[in-house]
Amino acid sequence: MSAALRVFAAEGLKQHRRIFGSKLVVFSMLLWPVLTLATTYYTVLPVTSAPGAAQRWPLVAEPGRLLAFLAAGALAYTFFFSLVQSAWHFSFERVSGTLEAMFLTPASRMALVLANGSSALVQNAWLFGCFGIAAALATGSLHLAHPGMLAVAALALLVPAVAWGAFLNSLLMFSRDSAFLYTLLDDPLWFVAGVRLPLFALPVWVKAIGLAFPLTTSLTVLRGALLDGRDTGELAGHLAFLAGLSAVLLGLTAVLLRVGERHAQRTGSLQLF
């Protein structure tokens, strides 16, 4: 356990030195999501202000609530996508030659991928997280059943995000074309997860694919808890599904790490890129 904690501390320090204090994070973690949010809002505006749109989706009657709905999507997407980015950065260890060194150490592989994901999440997402909370408070769009739901929402966002990050890290660590996965998980991720549209607007098969991504359910919980005043009882089904999905992702991570390392030992591919 203490060995795993040391891995967490070391990864945290590495991410802190690499990311924190870098002005670049302001771009990727605040400017891009805010500009993308504005673009999305304007793109759906002609449709949400179409005659009769409010009967199909009551939310659009109030532009403030529509914006809050999209902003919650942007917030959750930023969290999950920051893990795609962190996993992508992790694959750079291959290029800089440190990936092999990492596998020579006796550090727990699982601790490595978990530590990388969670510390990247903290370093990357705090900015947009604070921005989101400030914006929600300033506009008065928060609608909570009770203050405890804030914690539930935070956990429903963070726990699956870390599991998702660990899974991606293990996937990208052994892939030589990490750019492909990065591309594949950028746009399709927001599309299937209902980041920019309510889930009812998506066809059934897209919704089915979306369920495999923890972001989809995380977002349902986040919107339900923060914007619609739902309590844990009403969200219990989603929360249970989310817990199950996180466990499955962690299980897959363990398998991938074992299979990937064995394959790398046989082929010596950890230095190739």
Partner 1 sequence: MATAMPTLRRNWLVTMRAYQWTYFVGTLATGILTVGLAYLAYHSIGGGRAGGGFAAAAGTADYLGYVTVGAAASMFTVRMVLWVAKAQITEQREGTLESQVLAPARRLPYLVGVGLQSLTTTVVEVVVMLAFAVMIGVRLPAPDPVTLLAAFVAASVAVFGISVPLSAIMITAGEAHITQNTLFVAMGLLCGFTFPPAYLPDPLRWLGEALPVTSALRALRAATLDHAPLSAAAPDLLLCLALGLAYLIVGLRLLGPAERVAIQRGGSA
First vs last C-alpha separation in the chain: 33
Binding-site ranges for partner 1 (CB under 8 A): 24, 27-28, 31-32, 35-36, 38-39, 42-53, 56-57, 60, 177, 179-180, 183-184, 186-188, 190-191, 196-198, 200-203
In the complex with partner 1, the residue whose CB is nearer, 169 or 178, is 178
Distances (CA, A) of 152 to 142, 213, 228: 14, 19, 14
CB of residue 8 to partner 1, shortest distance in Å: 27
Residue placing its CB nearer to partner 1 in the complex, 6 or 92 = 92
Q: Toward partner 1, which CB reaches closer, 178 or 253?
A: 178
Please answer whether residues 141 and 64 qualify as being in contact, where contact means their C-beta atoms are separated by less than 8 angstroms.
yes
User: How far apart, in Å, are the Cα atoms of 114 and each of 11, 60, 174, 197, 208?
Assistant: 10, 39, 16, 31, 27
Whichever of 38 and 259 has its CB closer to partner 1, that residue is 38
Closest distance between partner 1 and the C-beta of residue 177, in Å? Answer: 6
Q: 266-273, long-range: CB within 8 Å, 24+ apart, which pairs? A: 269/174, 269/176, 270/94, 270/99, 270/100, 270/103, 271/94, 271/97, 271/99, 271/100, 272/94, 272/176, 273/94, 273/95, 273/176
C-beta closer to partner 1: residue 39 or 98:
39
CB of 53 to partner 1, least distance (A): 5
Q: Rounded to the nearest whole angstrom, what is the least distance from the CB of residue 27 to partner 1 in the complex? A: 5
Closest CB to partner 1 among residues 43, 105 = 43
CA count, 13 A, side-chain hemisphere, 77: 26
CB of residue 111 to partner 1, shortest distance in Å = 28
Task: Compute how many other C-beta atoms are within 10 angstroms of the C-beta atom of residue 143.
Answer: 15
Nearer to partner 1, 20 or 180 (CB): 180
Structure tokens, 266: 């046989």
What's the min distance (Å) between Cβ of 200 and partner 1? 7
What tokens appear for 60 in the block? 């659009």
CB of 118 to partner 1, least distance (A): 22
Burial profile 216-230: b = 16 or more Cβ within 10 angstroms, e = fewer:
bbbbbbbbbbbbeeb
